[in-house]
Amino acid sequence: MRTFKALCLAAGAVVVAGTSAHAADMVNGGKLLLTQGVTNIEGASGGGLATWATIAGYETRDGIGANAHATYVDLSDYSLRDYGAAVGLWDRVEVSYTRQEFDTGGTGAKLGLGKDFTFDQDVYGAKVRILGNLVYDQDTWVPQIAAGVQYKRNDQDAIVHAVGAKSDQGVDYYVAATKLFLDQSVLVDATLRYTRANQTGLLGFGGDRKDGYSPEFEGSVAYLLTRQIVIGGEYRTKPDNLGFAKEEGAWDLFGAYAFSKHLSLTAAYVDLGDIATFKNQHGLYVSLQAGF
């Protein structure tokens, strides 16, 4: 929480500084609406489940951007609260922080953990755009490509070890390629993630079935209905490391509405598969993002 507050204060400081002529040149908001993506469940810019090659904020190569988000996912037997902030530097570098709170609700008692037992996880991320430009490279098939890393730390060391995980912390690595076809109003993303996280890390890292890293896929297709509305779908594979509970892929169907460059709302139907022996975990995903 202290880290989240610090990031928000830092973003606020940039806004205040924007009253000066120098900061006005730096914080220029030059990207097209919705081309920064939204914030996914691990705090990176992209879709709701997938990470894209986009950089957070509406800054261009001479600017600084930032956003804060709050997300709620209501599943059949669980819920997830997710909030954090990200800063984009010169449309080249992204740094982010997200706090995930996975609430077992009444299911916690059935699992022997107690009602409303919560798994908390901090996710620190960094992403660098390597080549390509999402908007301006329309005369080539080369996508925007970025590489990133996420350090995750779970607060339930004893419990994740008890269910078979090898560690309460881990690092994910990924490479994302995102292509926007402006004439067709279509965006396509494919991301390769190298990870050993169980349920994105909420159930620890590695397991009794498999402890090593595995390559996993994240994909998105989005269609821009108007300048302010985008709809689409995503699919994400996940490792199946734990013997006590099978882990399946996740998918969603989403819609996002940008009120302006400073505020957007995303809603989705999401299916996360089986989670900790409870099957068919699906429900509503809602995320509010504010920034510049």
Cα 217 to Cα 169: distance, rounded to the nearest angstrom = 21
What CATH number belongs to 2-291?
2.40.160.40
* Contact of 198 with 241, CB cutoff 8 Å: yes
* Contact of 66 with 14, CB cutoff 8 Å: yes
pLDDT at 60: 86
The tokens describing 115, both together, are 């009602």
The owner of tokens 């904020």 is 57
Amino acid at 202: L
DSSP 139: T
* Contact of 191 with 177, CB cutoff 8 Å: yes
Residue 205 contacts by C-beta under 8 Å, 6 or more apart in sequence? Answer: 152, 165, 166, 167, 168, 169, 170, 196, 197, 198
Residue 249 contacts by C-beta under 8 Å, 6 or more apart in sequence? Answer: 235, 236, 237, 238, 273
Alpha carbons within 13 angstroms on the beta-carbon side of residue 241 total 31
Phi-psi region of 160 (alpha: psi -120 to 50; beta: other; left: phi over 0): alpha
How far is residue 240 CA from its own chain's centroid?
A: 20
What value, to the nearest 5°, has the Cα angle with vertex 287 and ends 284 and 289?
170
Q: Which DSSP helix (H) or strand (E) runs through 4?
A: helix 2-17
- Grouping H, G, I as helix, E, B as strand and the rest as coil, residue 51 is strand
* Contact of 131 with 147, CB cutoff 8 Å: no
Q: What is the pTM of this model?
A: 0.86
Cα 249 to Cα 236: distance, rounded to the nearest angstrom = 6
Domain ranges, ordered by start, for the chain: 2-291
Cα 88 to Cα 151: distance, rounded to the nearest angstrom = 18
* Contact of 26 with 62, CB cutoff 8 Å: yes
Phi-psi region of 34 (alpha: psi -120 to 50; beta: other; left: phi over 0): left
Cα 152 to Cα 258: distance, rounded to the nearest angstrom = 30
- Grouping H, G, I as helix, E, B as strand and the rest as coil, residue 212 is coil
Residue 9 contacts by C-beta under 8 Å, 6 or more apart in sequence? Answer: none
pLDDT, tens digit only, all 292 positions of the chain: 444 444 444 444 433 333 333 334 344 567 888 888 899 999 999 999 999 999 999 988 889 999 999 999 999 999 999 999 999 999 999 999 999 999 998 887 887 788 889 899 999 999 999 999 999 899 999 999 999 999 999 999 999 999 899 999 999 999 999 999 999 999 999 999 999 999 999 999 999 999 999 999 999 999 999 999 999 999 999 999 999 888 999 999 999 999 999 999 999 999 999 998 899 999 999 999 999 9
Q: For the chain, what is the largest distance between any 2 Cα atoms, rounded to a whole number of angstroms?
A: 59
The tokens describing 239, both together, are 């490792």
